[in-house]
Amino acid sequence: MSTPPPITLREKLIFGSGDIFIGGSQVIMAFYYLRFLTDVVQISPALAGTVVLISKVWDAISDPVMGVITDNTRTRWGRRRPYFALAVIGILTSFILLWYPVDFDSELKKFLYVLCTYVYFSTVSTVCLIPYASMSSEISTDYEERNAINGMRLFFSQVSSLVAAVLPLTIVELFDDASMGWLVMAAVFSVFYAIPWLLMFLFTHERVPMTHEKSQFSVASFLRPFEIKTFRKLLAMYFLAYLSMDVVAAVFQYYMYYYLDRKNEADLVIGTMLVTQIVLIPVVVTLSNRIGKATVYRYSIVLWLLGACLMAIYRPDWPDYTIYLVAALVGSGVVGCVVMPWSIFPDVTDIGELRFGQRIAGSFSGVMTFSRKFSGAIGIFTVGMILEVSGYLPPIREMQDGRYTEILQVQPPSVITALQWIVFMVPIVLLVPAFITARTYALDKLTHNRLRRYLEFRRGELPTSNLDESEVEAMKRLLI
């Protein structure tokens, strides 16, 4: 592979655009998929949650395997970029199948179709996300440049999330038959999500030398990332924050529809939360360069928990505008918890190179990607089971004036109570341990700069080492 050119703004923007699919598809899944299954396909909430949970058994195998595959890939396009080309067709097909509103006469047939299409979509996500996350540590080796690139990624992700939160229902409601609306929505978004991956294949470059040495396929190779203490802490911070977000996202539309009785404002409230995150991304990135990534993460948790508490005690008779203020407060906390783990991730892969003598960013990415998809599955499964047990009543579909109309049923008090407890207890139970973990995170900017220079020496890129043997051992004890 030839020496790549210096990184340009165009390349940063193209690489960041890959997160349009990642962020947007996850928001659509989190906010709409459970309700699509219960209200449109009309399978029970328990079965809907079970579909997503079962697929994680496959992800537990495919994600780590994909990590090793991409680490061992050797082509003239590099290790990661060939999979960007494969992603284009995969995204186009899997997303449409996922939202195809099957109308089988048997709930079992519906369940099997949904399970197969979800597993296919999850596999496509694996092929996309793991090489992409791995390349985030290889498109640049500079600490602040990586922060900027990951900030761009999260900017695209949040803009896409905003579009995904407010546009799907707008498209669906253009059609007399909501089933056709969901299918058209899926077709539109699949094209929107696929195009950036073709651009990434054509116009991005890897900037960490690709060695000829390959890792072996084994259970041990899948588990190697867990040998790194710093990675275990990052994984806990990442999983706990995203699980909290996924559970609340899965229940949020039910919360707006049935607890606050403000169905027509659900998209606007979600949009307020996401716009707040978009606006604050540059602030979060700047603060992370000044006071540290883990510190920003901790402050973000405090803001998030304050917003979650207000959401739990919120009363329908409060002034209408207050729900938007609460949403903005939650968004100001969520943004740091979303941006920081992926800003930290490239730095942790450098620790992996220190520990193993070679870059295994794919293996690290495999664990992170599985963790992300598993948190989403747990979120949907948990909410689905709670709704099932609490006695959720799905809408009644009736034909009115030539089109199908959903008539919301009045939910029993048990469902309303469940919604309140979810938005209150889940963030507290998950984010407090995440805060404690972040307090012990040791890889700051100064330590990373010393580590980076030492790795460049070990690769033969610098003539002399900046660390003596005792300093190297001390760094290993601190980080590994």
Q: How many folded domains does the chain comprise? A: 1
C-alpha–C-alpha distance, residues 333 and 331, integer Å: 5
Q: Which residues pair with 404 in a beta bridge?
A: 399
Cβ-proximal residues to 147 (8 Å cutoff; 6+ apart), any chain = 285, 288, 289, 343
- Predicted model pTM: 0.74
Is residue 336 domain-resident? Answer: yes
Say yes or no to pLDDT of 137 above 70: yes
Tell me the residue range of the domain where 328 lies: 9-206+225-393+408-443
pLDDT band at 287 (very low <50, low <70, confident <90, very high): very high
Q: What is the average pLDDT value for the chain, to the nearest integer?
A: 87
**What length does the chain have?**
480
Percent of the chain past pLDDT 70, that is, above it, reads: 95
Say yes or no to pLDDT of 1 above 60: no
Identify the pLDDT of residue 311. 86
Measuring CA to CA, which residue among 230, 457, 183 is closest to residue 355? 230
Per mean pLDDT, which range of 176-190, 245-259, 416-430 is the poorest? 245-259
Do the beta carbons of residue 28 and residue 98 sit within 8 Å?
Answer: no
Do the beta carbons of residue 199 and residue 17 sit within 8 Å?
Answer: yes
Is residue 356 domain-resident? Answer: yes
Is residue 271 domain-resident? Answer: yes
Is residue 79 domain-resident? Answer: yes
Is residue 94 domain-resident? Answer: yes
**Average pLDDT of span 125-144:** 85
> Higher model confidence: residue 4 or residue 33?
33
Measuring CA to CA, which residue among 433, 409, 413 is closest to residue 421? 413
Is residue 304 domain-resident? Answer: yes
**Average pLDDT of span 204-223:** 70
Is residue 476 domain-resident? Answer: no
Identify the pLDDT of residue 218. 63
Condensed to tens digits (0 to 9), the pLDDT of residues 18-29 reads 999 988 998 888
List, in sequence order, every beta strand (DSSP E) within 44-153: none
Cα distances (Å, whole numbers) of residue 87 to 22, 73, 172, 300, 360: 12, 16, 26, 33, 21
Cα distances (Å, whole numbers) of residue 367 to 57, 224, 236, 408: 14, 10, 12, 40
Per mean pLDDT, which range of 167-171, 261-265, 292-296 is the poorest? 261-265
Cβ-proximal residues to 306 (8 Å cutoff; 6+ apart), any chain = 329, 333
Per mean pLDDT, which range of 207-216, 219-228, 449-458 is the poorest? 207-216
Place of tokens 């790549």: 4
Identify the pLDDT of residue 325. 95
**Average pLDDT of span 8-31:** 89
Do the beta carbons of residue 336 and residue 291 sit within 8 Å?
Answer: no
What is the DSSP code string of 264-319?
Answer: GGHHHHHHHHHHHHHHHHHHHHHHHHHH-HHHHHHHHHHHHHHHHHHHHH--TTS-
Identify the pLDDT of residue 294. 94
Rounded to 5 degrees, φ, ψ at 408 are -70, 135
Q: What CATH number is attached to the domain comprising 273?
A: 1.20.1250.20
Is residue 167 domain-resident? Answer: yes
